[in-house]
Amino acid sequence: MKTEFPIPEEDLVRWRRHVHRHPELSFCEHKTVAYVEAELRAMGIDEIRRPTETSLTADITGMLPATGPVRTIALRADMDALPVEEAEGLEFRSENPGVSHVCGHDAHVAILLGTAKVLTALRSTFAGRVRLIFQHAEESLPGGARDMVAAGVLEGVDACVGLHVWNDRIGRLSVCTDRVATTASDAAWITIEGRGTHGSMPHAGIDPIVVGSELVGALHTIVSRNIAPDHFVVVSPTVFEAGKVVNVIPQTARIGLNIRTKDADDRALVRERVYALAEHVAAAHGAKVTIDWQSGYDAIVQDEGMIARAQRVAKETLPEHLIATRTGWTASEDFSAFANRVPSVYLFLGAGGPEEGYHVQNHHPAFRADEGCLPYGVAVETAFALDFLAGER
């Protein structure tokens, strides 16, 4: 690395292993947030707030006088774990049965703590303010970010950086050059109400399985016949529940839909088409439908200037072979709650790829971040913050 500041490598491993051993589910990050607060206070950071019960922000203010208005950059780490039983074999395996850090948020916490330690040591060298956002509940709707925003964590913030580890070469930083870095995610539950009847007397009922089957076919035309071919949209019926025994035609069937879009107009169109198809297919058969629409996270829309800054900072910080670009991710992330309010960038950090023996993606029971990625994360976040606070470039 080309950075001149020392990186606390032993601390990074200690923090990461502690958080990994003690994973907590979304909205339940009580011990994690207490641990983060204690570690920050041990560094001498005391401008700490708890916007919600299990989230935290901390400000590090530079000691140089600002030449213009004081700039503030926010760096965000999510802290929650998943309800997944971790694969065997890790020395610091999860001690919370059925819960584990298989999305790598343990690495995010360690990286942001490391960045805090470095920036605290560098306070005499910069003007402006760094706000550390330790966010709860990224993995579970409605997400923690929106509550943090409602509690005012973006007040006075000029820009925001998010970072996620993924299955790629250790330490490789991929800057997403598409403005849309992740998709919007919505869900719909469609309940079809027919009329149950004896399995031998189908004429006496309205079969919700027939209606539902036709509807599944119709739903698949939303993407193929309504969305421009170069747009990214997924509409997947992922749940179909109906019936229990073979001699009864059931009263109801239920379809669950997973919907991903990048464009706001496509998102609205999909919703309109789901309602129209469900209501009309049901009506054609004399059945009724009710739809429970669950809006999920918005797409992350990055700022062009922040993308360019990230590419420049990567060049100035990392060796050539650890710099890459990528297209948007089909997953969804509530970093959008920050990114869609202040100019932001969402970075991808390699935490071990196939060439290093890591073969599974985030959320797999055996996913884990290689500790070798942590110093790179600290170097990039620190360099980005210092570059932003130094002013326009």
Report the interface residues with Zn ion, using CB under 5 A: 103
For residue 22, say whether it is annotated as part of any ligand binding site.
Answer: no
The least distance separating Zn ion from the CB of residue 251, rounded to whole angstroms, comes to: 37
Cβ contact 79:16 at 8 Å: no
The least distance separating Zn ion from the CB of residue 116, rounded to whole angstroms, comes to: 20
Structure tokens at 282: 């049901």
Residue nearest to Zn ion (CB): 103
299: Cβ contacts below 8 Å, ≥ 6 apart: 180, 181, 182, 183, 184, 261, 262, 263, 264, 332, 336
Structure tokens at 245: 């025994």
For residue 164, say whether it is annotated as part of any ligand binding site.
Answer: yes
Nearer Cβ to Zn ion (140/251): 140
Phi/psi at 207 (nearest 5 deg)?
-85, 110
Among candidates 138, 155, 157, which has minimal Cα distance to 146? 138
Nearer Cβ to Zn ion (332/382): 332
The least distance separating Zn ion from the CB of residue 84, rounded to whole angstroms, comes to: 10
Nearer Cβ to Zn ion (315/363): 363
Structure tokens at 116: 């805090």
DSSP state of 317: H
Nearer Cβ to Zn ion (156/365): 365
Q: How far is the first Cα of the chain from the last one, in angstroms, to the nearest whole number?
A: 22
DSSP state of 230: T
The least distance separating Zn ion from the CB of residue 300, rounded to whole angstroms, comes to: 12
For residue 136, say whether it is annotated as part of any ligand binding site.
Answer: no
Nearer Cβ to Zn ion (98/319): 98
State the Cα–Cα distance between residues 273 and 26, nearest whole angstrom: 32
The least distance separating Zn ion from the CB of residue 101, rounded to whole angstroms, comes to: 9
For residue 105, say whether it is annotated as part of any ligand binding site.
Answer: yes
Cβ contact 189:289 at 8 Å: no
Nearer Cβ to Zn ion (166/388): 166
Among candidates 371, 384, 372, which has minimal Cα distance to 317? 384
The least distance separating Zn ion from the CB of residue 164, rounded to whole angstroms, comes to: 6
Nearer Cβ to Zn ion (79/219): 79
One-letter amino acid at 371 equals: E
Among candidates 186, 145, 141, 142, which has minimal Cα distance to 294? 186
The least distance separating Zn ion from the CB of residue 137, rounded to whole angstroms, comes to: 11
132: helix, strand or coil:
strand
Helix (H) or strand (E) holding 127: none
Nearer Cβ to Zn ion (74/103): 103
The least distance separating Zn ion from the CB of residue 189, rounded to whole angstroms, comes to: 22
Beta strands in the chain (DSSP E): 47-49, 56-61, 72-78, 129-135, 159-166, 173-176, 184-193, 197-198, 233-242, 248-249, 252-261, 288-295, 323-326, 344-350
Cβ contact 208:290 at 8 Å: no
User: Residues marked as binding for Mn(2+)?
Assistant: 103, 105, 139, 164, 363
Extract the annotated binding site: 103, 105, 139, 164, 363
